[in-house]
Structure 1
Amino acid sequence: MSIITLASEKKCHSSHYFRAAILHFISEPKNINDDKAWQYFEDGLLEVVNGKVISVRQASEALPSLPENASVVDYSGSLILPGFVDVHTHFPQAEMIASYGEQLLQWLENYTFVTEQKYAEQAYANKMAEFFLDMLFCHGTTAAMVFSTVHKESVTALFNAANAKNMRLITGKVLMDRNAPEALCDTAQSGYEESQALIEQWHGKGRLSYAVTPRFAPTSTPEQLTLAGKLLQQDSSLYMQTHLAENLDENAWVKTLFPDAKDYLDVYEQHGLMSTRSIFAHSIHLQEREYKSLAHHQAGVAYCPSANLFLGSGAFNMPTAQQYQLNVGLGSDVGAGTSLCLLNILSDAYKSQKVEGFTLNPFYSLYLATLGGAKCLDLEDKIGNFEANKEADFVVWDLNATPLMTMRNIHSHQLAEQLFSFIILGDDRAVVATYVNGQLAYERT
């Protein structure tokens, strides 16, 4: 048996075995002691063949039975987790991250809409799409649902880049036919026709999926929302992504624009935009009926704590979401979110929930970033853990990436304690390597 250790060898060698501590989730942890919800191997071996997981076992059990010529990539001392799943982010906004001093509606007008106009140029969109996906990989994210811009060029750029990297990615052309700069507005009909053409070109190609993407209710007329619903009715495998109840001023604006709707969510429901593949970002300021409807339709909710804090939007009601058993995933929501690393997002989640009187335990947090995200996107049959035949997206993490993390771990004697300090202190410096569909996509140098 040979041991692969050199970076150049990892990139060219068809190795199928990866040794490290390994953690993955089988189900949602109900509490910090719910050890039936996860599997942890202090010294584990992950077997991957042709981009699919074959097995995960204790190394002591698996190594003696390996073929004589088997090659093992040895990451002993590190932790392998399933790749993080970011269920809500904006690739054009990566370049305007950390924009100062506004709440949502003013922030959109002063920063977002200005930046997004640049993505009508194909060459620029291509360059930024490559940069964005490389940033996801080096921050430990292997699958994502992403907003592009209103321009078909931006969608084409992101799909092309993701397809070349064999990444599981969902995106779509943003639909906006009012209340936005003229350069970013389509029409109800042109938005429908351009979306339809992009669906035909990209949906289901490789590991790609298309999301019908009205930005949020205020920037679409009822006519546009109706045609967006028509797209979903034509193909139930499509996704829908939008924003919901992020900001109190936004909620009030929606009420004036759609006076006949019962509430914000009802605007989307009335136009046929609700299904198990509908993902609603934020969902902070909801009424009881809206929680019940999200649960009834098994729709997804993207929890974006960093963006919520950064824009002063409010706190997501995690206890109520758990009460209604909502499908919750984690969103970086860059550029209102301040990091592409979901560890940083989880750190903000812990702190913001603590202020609200709720404590996120580390197992549930990492579940949200992995299997929870996969379930939110209706992809738990493909990604999110290391069950046999799942796609082999995983990340190797260094729990001692910084002197402070190393010092803290000296005093961490339980797995929960180690994971919690990893979440609070860790960031992209802790990413040793990222594998997408079994292939090395990023390696720390």
Structure 2
Amino acid sequence: MTRDITIRAFRGELLSVARDPRDDPDAVRHEPDGLIVVEDGVVIARGAYADLAERYAAVPVEALPGLIVPGFVDAHVHYPQMDKIASHGEQLLDWLDRHIFPAEKAFADPAYAAAVAAAFLDELLRNGTTSALVYPTVHEHSVDVLFEAALARDMRIVSGKVLMDLGPEGLRDTLASGRAQSEALIRRWRGRGRLGYAVTPRFALTSTDAQLADAGALLAEHPDVLMHTHLAENLRECEAVAARFTQAIDYLDAYDRFGLVGKRSVFAHGIHLSDRACARLHESGAGIAVCPSSNLFLGSGCFHFGQADRHRLRLGLGTDIGAGTSFSLLHTAGLAYQAALAREDRLDPFRALYLATAGSAALLHIGERVGALEPGQEADFVVLDSAATPLLARRTQGAGLAERLFALQILGDDRAVARTYIMGQCAWARDS
């Protein structure tokens, strides 16, 4: 996407949640008739239309019917798994062996990987997702083609070559190749566009102790990158980790002893955590990408929001495609509400929106750039249509803001996304 350097404005109903409303009741910002002014892709003013209209009278204004929210930020998703979404019959470890590892072997073909990467990013945009932390495969070029496609779309994408020297035949690297390829990718892509890098050991069971230690060393040498992996997703997985890492206190400690737990660490799932592990996560500044869709689909369990809140954990929201069954973070927010209620916690719809936007952005250390549509941030936003389906229209007619938002999260999905904007330019429109 090529940006033109102009000033433009967008008028409509604006809603964002820049901070966790659990901690700050004033975090919700809502302008029923608002104006966003964008220069060279960055928000330079936001407020009530009546307050800003005169100051920006010379700026062209595009009226956007619907609810304008920040672009969604997916804190954990696998692009190579999109064609295995809705694969039947297994929990995590068997599902990987039966469905996922065979599918990821096909990414040895760069052309195939490039085609999937392009389709994946287009699907994100169709669902209103403008930023994401993305798993590729063990293949170095799987990162290259994803980043190339993201540059073409001007999307904010963080990714990194999967490390797995204990992976299955045809889908493993070595200690030396994993380090060399990771360093080459960091050199090649650091500072380009809106991209970021993440050191990505697949999970504790697919890397030797030596590779996990080397991943920790790589993180120490590159303090600007993230660490991205899986944690305590499934009971059988947890048992297998305990059997292998007999000296570790718990699953988190199996990573901690290799230097992989820090303020830039993003752990997906975290369903089966001890209070000790939660305390350590808080102390370190690491956070959890909550993935309710995949947790339900694989029979893994429900995330414990109450436990996380007691320990004041940093949280974001992830679709976890392809164990997750929808690219829609709007729908995933609704599933997070249901997962919370299963443990007798009540997830407020504004907090759910926070987790899908500014919360995930903070978790990915991009919160200064995206997530809240505040002046100085990049103008990534989504226009939601609360009348996208007959049922949504009926349910939201005459409803207040909280009720409308909750209905969109429970009943909405990609159909509720009317338009997606990247840096102030329309990147996807339902009517185009």
TM-score (norm 2): 0.97
Runs of 4+ in structure 1 deviating by more than 6 angstroms, as ranges, are none
Residue type matched to 2:411 in 1?
L
1:57 aligned to which of 40, 47, 54: 47
Residue correspondence of structure 1 range 83-98 to structure 2 within 5 A? 83-98=71-86
2:325 aligned to which of 326, 338, 348: 338
The aligned counterpart of 1:424 is 410
The yes-or-no answer on 1:21 pairing with 2:7 is no
> Is the Cα contact below 8 Å between 1:166 and 1:206 reproduced in 2?
yes
Residue correspondence of structure 1 range 320-339 to structure 2 within 5 A? 320-339=307-326
Q: Deviations over 1:86-134 (max 9, x none)?
A: 0000000001000001000000000000110111111111111110000
Q: Deviations over 1:138-184 (max 9, x none)?
A: 00100000000000111111011111211111001111111x32100
The aligned counterpart of 1:407 is 394
CA change 1:151–1:325 in 2 (3 A) is same
Q: Deviations over 1:194-220 (max 9, x none)?
A: 111111101222211111000000000
The yes-or-no answer on 1:267 pairing with 2:244 is no
What secondary structure is seen at the aligned counterpart in 2 of 1:189? Answer: helix
2:109 aligned to which of 112, 121, 124: 121
1:298 aligned to which of 285, 290, 295: 285
Residue type matched to 2:10 in 1?
F
- Measured in 1, the distance between the counterparts of 2:221 and 2:390 equals 55
The aligned counterpart of 2:161 is 173
- Measured in 2, the distance between the counterparts of 1:19 and 1:261 equals 55
- Structure 1 position 35, deviation (Å): 4.6
> Is the Cα contact below 8 Å between 1:55 and 1:386 reproduced in 2?
no
> Is the Cα contact below 8 Å between 2:381 and 2:420 reproduced in 1?
yes
What secondary structure is seen at the aligned counterpart in 2 of 1:80? Answer: strand
- Structure 1 position 15, deviation (Å): 5.5
The yes-or-no answer on 1:73 pairing with 2:59 is no
- Measured in 1, the distance between the counterparts of 2:25 and 2:231 equals 34
What secondary structure is seen at the aligned counterpart in 2 of 1:64? Answer: coil
- Structure 1 position 61, deviation (Å): 1.9
> Is the Cα contact below 8 Å between 1:84 and 1:370 reproduced in 2?
yes
CA change 1:19–1:35 in 2 (3 A) is farther
The yes-or-no answer on 1:434 pairing with 2:420 is yes
What secondary structure is seen at the aligned counterpart in 2 of 1:124? Answer: helix
- Measured in 2, the distance between the counterparts of 1:272 and 1:35 equals 36
CA change 1:172–1:12 in 2 (3 A) is closer
TM-score (norm 1): 0.94
Between 1:258-267 and 1:130-139, the stretch displaced more is 258-267
- Measured in 2, the distance between the counterparts of 1:105 and 1:161 equals 31
The aligned counterpart of 2:140 is 152
Residue type matched to 1:394 in 2?
F
Residue type matched to 2:414 in 1?
D
2:119 aligned to which of 126, 131, 135: 131
> Is the Cα contact below 8 Å between 1:276 and 1:378 reproduced in 2?
no
> Is the Cα contact below 8 Å between 1:53 and 1:392 reproduced in 2?
yes
> Is the Cα contact below 8 Å between 1:15 and 1:72 reproduced in 2?
no
- Structure 1 position 56, deviation (Å): 1.1
Cα RMSD after superposing both structures: 1.4
Between 1:397-406 and 1:130-139, the stretch displaced more is 397-406
- Structure 1 position 316, deviation (Å): 0.7
> Is the Cα contact below 8 Å between 1:142 and 1:167 reproduced in 2?
yes
Residue type matched to 1:157 in 2?
V
- Structure 1 position 235, deviation (Å): 1.1
Residue type matched to 1:60 in 2?
A
Residue type matched to 1:431 in 2?
V
1:108 aligned to which of 96, 120, 128: 96
- Measured in 1, the distance between the counterparts of 2:18 and 2:108 equals 43
- Mark the runs of 5 or more structure 1 residues left unpaired by the alignment: 1-10
- Structure 1 position 75, deviation (Å): 0.7
